[in-house]
Amino acid sequence: GDRPPVRRFNLNNVTITPDPIGNQEVVLILTPMARFYQEYWDNLMRLDYPHDLISLGFILPKNKEGNAATTSLQAQVAKTQKGPLKDRFRSVVIERQDFDPPILSQDEGERHKIENQKVRRASMSRARNSLLFTTLGAETSWVLWLDADIIETPPSLIQDLAAHDKPLIVPNCYQRYTDPETGKPAERPYDFNSWQDSPTAQEIAAKMDPDDIILEGYREMATYRALMAYMADREDERDVEVPLDGVGGTALLVKADVHRDGAMFPPFPFYNLIETEGFTKMAKRLGWSATGLPNYKVYHYNE
Ligand code: GDP
Ligand code: MN
């Protein structure tokens, strides 16, 4: 039979503007997923960016937990894509990893041990890169990295972040919990990977083996970086911006041109940084900048 005709794209016609809805810009939401949380899916469904402009991409490990998560995810995708038109997404891709994740427990305590970070985050980088390079399209204007355990965001997350017109922009990732003393609902910072660099951290890096990585949020390694997690001060000033040198990937909006320029998640120490923090460094070396919104919160699942 006939082969399809050549498809031509003029990348200049793919706009990336502070008014992405007005300009009908396609957003690719990318989620590495080790576990499926219904609250993640429900929050995703509540995003009020037009779903016909949202493409979804998932990557799941090929282990027992990954199999279970894939089954749950597929069920929700099938239901949504057969449901009301306004809920249906533009496209959905579900991928299974072609390499084994490190044999580490997904338990929070084990996952966050300092000695496990290099292999764990190298593996996460490879998962993110596989997902990115197989799904980024010529029509993609924005990439929203959204972890599978982000269970609460404002419904206007995409357009709110895009309105800042920044190459990389990251909200503040918190976690809700019940205060054991008062029994009342409370919240605390969760993601410590969004930071401004410090002279101490630079000195640590200068003395480090190039194959070692600096980690944030560990008592064993005091960096004195300024963490966005602790910069939240005013609920009513969600638009306050701060410049950043490292970002976390729990929720992160990236102009697709940054990835198209070649910025990815280094699965190796890059300037002693790895994964999303290494990505920030790479984007900066390509001439882009990173911005944080300390008062704009999204919430991580409480395990
Ligand atoms: P933490 O919140 O910093 O502890 O990091 P997580 O363990 O939550 O991992 C970040 C994101 O990657 C979450 O969406 C996880 O579901 C997902 N994830 C974790 N490990 C793997 C893995 O081995 N493969 C894939 N594809 N996703 C993973
Ligand atoms: Mn997480």
**pLDDT for the residue 145:** 99
Q: Quick one: which ligand is closest to 301's CA?
A: 2
What does the alpha-carbon distance between residue 294 and residue 173 come to, in Å, rounded to a whole number?
A: 9
What is the extent of the structural domain holding 207? 11-300
| Residue 193 Cβ < 6 Å to ligand 1 | no
Q: Is the CB of 97 under 6 A from ligand 1?
A: yes
pLDDT confidence of residue 7: 83
The 10s digit of each residue's pLDDT in 205-229 is: 999 999 999 988 888 889 999 999 9
111 lines ligand 1 (CB under 6 A): yes
Ligand 1 pocket, residue 127 CB under 6 Å = yes
- Check if 146 has its Cβ closer than 6 Å to any atom of ligand 1: no
Q: Which ligand is nearest to the CA of 265?
A: 1
> Which pLDDT score, from 0 to 100, does residue 100 have?
83
Is residue 6 one of the residues assigned to a domain? no
Is the shortest distance between the CB of 148 and ligand 1 below 6 Å?
yes
- Any domain includes 4: no
Strand partners, 192: none
Average pLDDT taken over every residue of the chain = 95
Count: domains in the chain: 1
Q: Is there an atom of ligand 1 within 6 Å of 35 CB? A: yes
Is residue 229 in some structural domain?
Answer: yes
Please work out whether the CB of residue 277 comes within 6 Å of at least one atom of ligand 1. no
Ligand 1 and 151: CB distance under 6 A: no
Atom of ligand 1 nearest to the CA of 106: 7
Alpha helical stretches, state H, 136-255: 157-162, 199-207
Instruction: List pLDDT tens digits, range 68-118.
Output: 999 999 999 999 999 999 999 999 999 999 888 887 777 777 778 777 889
pLDDT of amino acid 84: 98
Beta bridge partners of 292: 170, 242
- How far does the centroid of ligand 2 lie from the alpha carbon of residue 197, in Å? 23
Gap between the Cα atoms of 208 and 151, Å rounded: 37
In this predicted structure, what is the pLDDT of residue 242?
Answer: 98
190 Cα: distance to centroid of ligand 2 (angstroms): 9
Identify whether the C-beta of residue 175 lies closer than 8 Å to the C-beta of residue 188.
yes
Nearest ligand, measured from the Cα of 119: 1
Atom of ligand 1 nearest to the CA of 148: 14
Q: Which tokens belong to 109?
A: 């305590």
Average pLDDT in the 15-32 region?
Answer: 98
Per-residue confidence (pLDDT) for residue 139, from 0 to 100: 96
Q: What was the pLDDT predicted at 111? A: 78
Query: Could you tell me if the CB of 60 is within 6 A of ligand 1?
Result: yes
Give the per-residue pLDDT at 101. Answer: 82
Could you tell me which of 193, 177, 194 has the C-alpha nearest to residue 185?
177
Structure tokens at 90: 């533009």
Write the DSSP symbol of residue 211: T
Residue 5 included in any domain: no
Least confident of 29-38, 63-72, 107-116, 163-172: 107-116
For residues 39 and 151, the answer to whether their CB atoms sit within 8 Å is yes
Residue 2 pLDDT:
81
Ligand 1 proximity of 150 Cβ (cutoff 6 Å): no
pLDDT given at position 148: 98
Q: Which pLDDT value is given to residue 219? A: 86
User: Would you state the pLDDT for residue 71?
Assistant: 98
**Dihedral pair phi/psi, residue 74, rounded to 5°:** -60, -40
107 assigned to some structural domain: yes
Q: Which residue has the higher pLDDT, 104 or 19?
A: 19
What pLDDT digit, counting tens, does each position of 243-268 carry? 999 999 999 999 999 999 999 999 99
With 0-12 / 13-18 / 19 or more C-beta atoms within 10 angstroms meaning exposed / middle / buried, residue 217 is: middle
**Contact present, 227 and 194 (Cβ < 8 Å):** yes
Q: How confident is the model at residue 5 (pLDDT cuts 50, 70, 90)?
A: confident
Task: Judge whether 80 lies within some domain.
Answer: yes
Q: Looking at ligand 1, which atom is closest to the CA of residue 112?
A: 4
Interval 188-198: pLDDT, tens: 999 999 999 99
The atom number, within ligand 1, closest to the CA of 249 reads 10
Instruction: Note residues around ion ligand 2 (Cβ under 5 angstroms).
Output: 149
Task: Give the per-residue pLDDT at 23.
Answer: 96
> Residue 37 CA: which ligand is closest?
1
Asked whether residue 1 is domain-assigned, the answer is: no
pLDDT cut 90: percent of the chain above it? 85
Domain CATH code at residue 91: 3.90.550.10
Residue located nearest, by CA, to atom 18 of ligand 1:
34
Residue 63: which residues within 8 A CB-CB, separation 6 or more? Answer: 100, 101
| Residue 73 within a domain | yes
